Amino acid sequence: MKFLLIRSFSGFGDRIEHLLAAFNYCVKSERTMVIDWTDPVWCGEEFNKGFDYYFRLKKVSYMPLSEFKKIFITNKKNGIEMKILPSFFENIILKRSNENDVQYTFSDLANLMKEVINNERPDIPCDILVTTDLDKRNNMGIIAIPNLIYNYNIMNYIKEDPNYSFLMNNNFVSLHLRGTDRTTYTEKYRPDLTNFSHNQDEYISNLIKKIPEDTENILLLSDSNILIEAFLEKIDKKFNIIQTNNQKSDNEVSLHLKMEKSKESKNFELLKDFYFMTRSKFVVCDTISRFSLVAHRVCELGKPKEQRLKT
């Protein structure tokens, strides 16, 4: 059995793009996909609540991380060698993924995977191939999104939201305001990302311009009370504005990136937002946030090209 081990440490949008970009490669190469989201950003200190706690996959060979580790440890005890590439993962493969893995990124493998998918080369010769998060945007696997299945614990939580029935039975546009984790940027350092601290009014105005003309219902998503209040002051009162009951912040700390012992409640809220966004008629996003950009691409998948709206 051959494996592709995906080790993540970035935001949710990066994780999903990474996973989906590798999906068709695993199908073609008949590798078993293993996903390690046990990093502190996603799990906090709850190591057992990684990817497998929230999701499962279909139409690909897939193994939970815990089962993979059992096989790896058993083989090592029995003297059965498993070739790992890149080789520097041999000593850390059982450890939590983290940013120390960033010396090697998915883009280093992406072209090789494409060549395998297109029958242009044989599979990479190893038992365990390891990839870490993307270092540039890559949507080559977004079409595989229907094979990412929410576990029952997540779906039950989503269905408890007071807006669930309305959103599932009416057309709506999602609009995502990315705020709190951008407050540290300045005009000198990353001026393209200063929407919160310097260019708030312009940022909100540009997003409002992207709302389709026939929109009636807007699902407004953000972790920033400051941005939400600014948006509500500018938006035309003709729209029906809907908000989830997720936690929000009045300060400069991103709720999802904040280091805590448990990340479960934050992850549940994040996944609920993503679920609703991917069922929108359209997702209005700033193209900076990969979280909402991936959701936008998912929404556009089923539409003919002439009906797809630009971000």
In sequence order, what are the beta bridge partners of 55? 150
What is the average per-residue pLDDT within 38-42? 91
Segment among 49-53, 252-256, 299-303 with least mean pLDDT = 252-256
Looking at the chain, the number of H-run helices and the number of E-run strands are 11, 10
Pseudo-torsion of CA 149, 280, 36, 113, nearest 10°? 90
Percent of the chain at pLDDT above 70? Answer: 84
Per-residue pLDDT for 310 more than 80? no
> What angle (nearest 5°) sits at the alpha carbon of residue 184, between those of residues 104 and 9?
25
For the chain, first and last CA: distance in Å? 42
Of 122, 88, 113, 120, nearest to 18 (Cα)? 113
Q: For residues 153 and 182, which has the higher predicted lDDT (pLDDT)? A: 153
pLDDT for residue 70: 97
For residue 8, give every residue at least 6 positions away whose Cβ sits within 8 Å of its Cβ, in sequence order, or none.
14, 15, 18, 35, 36, 37, 39, 42, 97, 132, 133
Provide the whole-model pTM. 0.89
Q: Are 89 and 126 in contact (CB under 8 A)?
A: no
